[in-house]
Structure 1
Amino acid sequence: MAVPPRWANLNIDLVTEIMNRVPCAIDRTRMAAVCQAWLAAVARAERLTFQLPSLLFPPADANDVYCYLSGCREHNMLAGPRYFGSYDDGWFFVAYGHTCGHRLLNIRTGDSHALPDILVDHVAHEIHSMVILAAAISCPPEFAPCAAGIVSYQPELDAPRRRHLAFWRQGDEVAVCNVLPGAPVGPGWEPEDVVYYRRNFLFLTQGGHILVCNPLYENDDSGNILLVPWKLMPFPEWSFFRDCMWEYPGSAVVRACYLVESRASLDMVVRLAAHHHAPTSSFKVFYMDPIDIIEPGDDDEEADEYLRTWNWFGENAWGGRMLFVGRGCSKSYEVREYPGLKDGIFFLDDRSFYDAEMMFGRVNERQYPCSDIGRWSPPEGPLPSHVELYFPERVPSYNSPPAWLLH
C-alpha cells in the first residue's frame, strides 16, 4: 500500500485552491501554521475581500471566537477582560480592570492605546471616574489620531446610575463632556447607541431622538480643550414604538435599539421581546426621513438640515442584507457577496447594558447573560419570520458580555 504523501508535499496549486474555498480568516491563519508550503499557499490564495464578523463568546475564564463563515466553529484564542465594543481590522474596546483599565486593543497586531478612566467637565469644573459601556471611533487609530464618542457611567455620583455621553481624543489622558449647549437629560434622553456617521458622532436616545455631535478643538490659556457643539435631530417621541406595538402585538417590549449605516443611509434596528425576561422574538428596521423643514430666517439663509423634524419609517424593502447589531459597532453586508447565505439580523445578548450594577459586583456575583444570541430571519414566501437562538442553554459569564470581532 502506498504511503500517503506528507502534507508539505501536496501540490501547491491544490493547496491554494483549497485555501480559496476557506472563507474564515482564522481558519486560514491556522492552516498557514501547518508548514512552509501551506504558508506559501495562503500567500497565493485569493484575498478575503468580504469578511463577516465573528462572535466573541466569553466563558468564565477565557473567550472563544465563533465564526459564521466556518459553520459557527469554535476558535479558543483570547484571554478574558470585559469587552464593550469593536472596530474594523481586529480592534476591540476592552476593560482589563472590569470597571477601569480601558484600552483599545488590536488582537491581530498587539497594538494598543490607553483609553481614559477619568471624565473632566470643564464647564462645571468637575472630575469624575468613568466606566465605559460602548464607544465608536472616527478612524483607524494606526492611520491618524482618532476621536471617540463614548457612552459611560459616572459611578461615584450620589444618584441613581445614568448613562452619559463623553468624548476622547487619541493621546489624551482624560475624556471630556464639554457639550455646548448642555445636552438634554432626564427620562428618554439616556444614550442607547453611538455611531460615527458623516464626520459626526450620533447618539441615539431612549426616546428615539438623535444628538449630532461634532468635536472641536480650541485653544485657551490652559492648552487644547475639546468642545462639542451638538444639534438635535428630533423625532416624534415614541412613534416607532407605537409602530412596533401595532405590527407585533404579541411582542410589546422593546429590548434594544441600534443605529447602523447601510446602503449610504442610516437605519435604526429595533429589537423586540414578549416581555422583559423573554428572549428576542422579532426585529423591525426603520429609516429616517424629514417630515417638516423649518422656514429660512429673515436673512434668507437656508435652513440647517439638522433643524428639521424627522421621523422613523418602517422599512419594508430592507432585504438582501445581513445586519450584525451591537452598540457602537453595527454592520451591514450585502447577501449577494456571500453565496449560500440569506438575509437576516444577527444579534448578541446585551441585556447587561441596562443592568447598572452588574459590572460593579464581585467576580462570583457578575452574571453576564449569554443565551440570547442568534439570527432573525424575515418572512420568506409562505414562511413567517422567525428567530433561531444559537446557544439557548449557555450559562452566564463572569467577565464580559459577548462581542463582535470585526475583521
Structure 2
Amino acid sequence: MDKSRKKDDVLRIIHRLLSCLVDRRRMGQVCRSWRAAVAPQQHPPQRPLPWILVPSVGGPTFSCALGGCATHDFLVPDDALSARYFGAYGDGWLFLAFGQIKGHALLNLRTNQHFDLPDVVGLEMLAHRYRVHIVMLAVTLSSPPEHEDCVAAAISSLWPLDPRIHAFWRMERDVAVMATSVDGVVGPILEDVIHHNGAFYFLTREEDLHVFAVSEFHEYDDGELKIPPMDIRLFRNGQRYYGENVVARYLVESGGHLLMVVRFVNIRDWPPTTWAFRVFEMMELPQEATNNEVTFKYAWNELASLDGRMLFLARGCSRSYEVVDYPGLEFNDGVYFLDEGRLQLGDRTSITDRAYPCRDNGKWMAAADAVPRVDNFLPEQSPSNYSSPVWLLP
C-alpha cells in the first residue's frame, strides 16, 4: 500500500471517530487532500444526535455530548439571548420563555420561524371563568407545529400557587385549557410528559400515567379546545421506595416501547451530583392484579441493561438512539443527562431567583461486567442567571 493511500485510510479512521458534526465538517475543510479523503464520510447520519445548548455570559453556545464537549458559537435572536429554555422539538425547535415566567414561545433556530405560546390558562370557578397565569415547565407536541391539527401538551405551574397542571392548546391560540378540575388542582405531582402511540402520557411522582388520546381532542364552536377524558393507568409496582435519595423521573420512547428512567441525585455534597439511574419498561399485565381493592393493569419492568441504547434525558423531549446506527460510537451506550436545577432548588425557586446551576451534566454507563460510573462533562460551567442547559434536537 502506498503512503498516500495509507494516509487517507488514517484520515478516514480519525474522521469516523469524530462524533461532532462541526468537527467533521472542519476536518474536511483543512485542505484539498483531506477533503478528498473524507468526502465519502461527510454525510451525517439520517438521525443526528442531540447537541447541548449551553448558557453562557454572552448568550447560549452549543456543545456535542459525544464530541469532547468543545463549545461552538451559536446565533440566536437578540431577544432570546437571556430567555429561559425549557425544552426542544425535532428539526431545530426550542421552547423558551422570553420573560422567564412569561413570553412563552416556540422558536426554530434554523429558520427563525416563531409561534407565541399561551401565558394564561382558562379556569372555571364558582360558575365564572377566569384567566390564570401559568409558567410552563415541559412541553411536547402531537405533530410538527406547522401542521394545522397539532396539539400541544404541557406540564405547567399555576403561578404563584405552584401546583402542576396538565395544559393543552392548539398552535396560535393565546389561552390554554387545563384538564385538572378546580377541586383537584393539588393532585399528583407531574414529573414528565411525552407523545407516544397517538396519545399524551403524563408521568406522576407515584409512577402512574395520565393518558389523553390525541384523536379525541375536539373544538367547541367558539374554537376552544375540548379535552378528552383522562385515562388513569395505575401501576402495580408504582410508588416504590428509593431510600433517602432525591429522584427525578423521565419518559422515553424506545423501539415503540415506553420507558421510565429514574435519576438519583446526591444532595449531601455540594454541588449536588447525579450518581445513578434505573430504567424500566411499561408492560401490560396478562391479567389484572388487585391489591387492597385497587385494580392494576400495568407494571414497570426493570431492565438489566441498556442493550445498546443511548438515552438523552430532559422533560418533554427525551430521546433514544441505537449505537449500532452510528459507526464509531459502538461503546457510547449510556444515559446522557443535563443539570435541570429543579432537583436542587425546585422549579419555582430556580426561576424566581434566576439561579440555574449548570454543572451536573454527564453520561452514566452501566455494564454487566463493570462498575457503573458517571462521566461528568462541562464541569467548569458556571451558574446561569437565565436558563438551564437544554438539548437541541437537529
Tell whether 2:315 aligns with 1:327: yes
Report Cα offsets for 1:71-115 as digits up to 9, x if no partner: 222112143311000011111001111111111111111111111
Unaligned runs of 5+ in 2: 1-10, 76-80, 290-294
Give the AA of the match of 1:287. Answer: E
The equivalent of 2:292 in structure 1 is: none
Q: What is the deviation of 1:208?
A: 0.7
Q: Could you tell me which residue of structure 1 aligns to residue 352 of structure 2?
A: 360
Residues 80 and 380 of structure 1: is their aligned pair in 2 closer, same or farther, counting only changes over 3 Å? farther
Mapping for residues 20-31 of structure 1, pairs under 5 Å: 23-27=19-23
Aligned residue in 2 for 1:92? 94
2:276 to 270, 277, 282: 282
- TM-score for both structures, normalised by structure 2: 0.81
1:139 aligned to 2:136? no
Query: 1:58: how far off?
Result: 0.6
Assess, with a 3 A threshold, how the Cα gap between structure 1 residues 254 and 312 changes in structure 2: closer, same or farther. Answer: farther
Q: State the AA in 1 paired with 2:374.
A: V
Q: Give distance in 1, aligned partners of 2:223 and 2:146.
A: 25
Shift of 1:318: 2.7
1:4-403 correspondence runs (5 A): 23-27=19-23, 45-78=42-75, 79-121=81-123, 125-156=129-160, 159=161, 161-178=162-179, 185-186=185-186, 189-215=188-214, 216-218=216-218, 220=220, 222-236=222-236, 238-239=238-239, 241-242=240-241, 244-245=242-243, 252-275=244-267, 278-291=272-285, 293=287, 308-338=296-326, 339-340=328-329, 341-352=331-342, 354-361=346-353, 366-381=354-369, 383-403=370-390
Distance across 1 between alignment mates of 2:284 and 2:96: 37
1:377–1:386 CA contact under 8 A, matched in 2: yes
Paired residues of 1:254 and 1:270 also in contact (CA < 8 A): no
Amino acid at match of 1:72: C
Secondary structure of the residue aligned to 1:312 is: strand
How far residue 276 of structure 1 moved from its aligned partner, in angstroms, is: 6.1
Q: 1:66 to 1:220 in 2, by over 3 A?
A: closer
In structure 2, relative to structure 1, the CA distance for the partners of 1:56 and 1:336 (3 Å cut) is same
Give, in angstroms, the shift of residue 64 of structure 1: 1.5
Task: State TM-score, norm by structure 1.
Answer: 0.79
* Secondary structure at 1:228 match in 2: coil
CA distance in 1, matches of 2:368, 2:57: 38
- Which has the higher mean CA deviation after the structures are superposed, 25-34 or 190-199? 25-34
The one-letter code sitting in structure 1 at the alignment partner of 2:196 is Y
Provide the C-alpha distance between the structure 2 equivalents of 1:223 and 1:337, rounded to a whole number of angstroms: 44
Partner of 2:78: none
Q: Which amino acid is the alignment partner of residue 162 of structure 1?
A: P
Q: Deviations over 1:128-185 (max 9, x none)?
A: 01111110111112344411110111214xx4x2221101111211111145x78955
Residue 369 of structure 1: how far off its partner (Å): 0.8
Which whole-Å CA distance do the structure 1 matches of 2:238 and 2:183 have between them?
Answer: 19
Paired AA for residue 228 in structure 1: P
Deviation, structure 1 residue 52: 1.0
SS for the counterpart of 2:387 is coil
Distance 1:214 1:77 in 2: 37
Q: Aligned letter for 2:176? A: A
1:266 is aligned with what amino acid? L
Question: Whole-Å Cα distance in 1 between the matches of residues 213 and 183 of structure 2?
Answer: 13
**Separation in structure 2 between the aligned mates of residue 223 and residue 145 of structure 1, nearest angstrom:** 13
Please give the per-residue CA displacement for 1:214-239, whole angstroms capped at 9, x wherever unaligned. Answer: 35444545344322321001124654
Partners of 2:355 and 2:333 in 1: CA distance: 32
Aligned-residue offset at 1:186: 4.0
Q: Is the 8 A contact 1:352 1:401 kept in 2?
A: no
Aligned length: 364
CA contact (8 A) 1:19 1:42 kept: no
Percent of aligned positions that are identical: 35
Root-mean-square deviation (Å): 3.3
Alpha-carbon distance between aligned partners in 2 of 1:219 and 1:345, rounded to the nearest angstrom? 39
Q: Distance in 2 between matches of 1:85 and 1:42?
A: 34
The 1:276/1:208 distance shift into structure 2, 3 A limit, reads farther
**Which residue type is aligned with residue 139 of structure 2?**
A
Q: Call closer, same or farther: CA 1:316–1:184 in 2, change over 3 Å.
A: farther
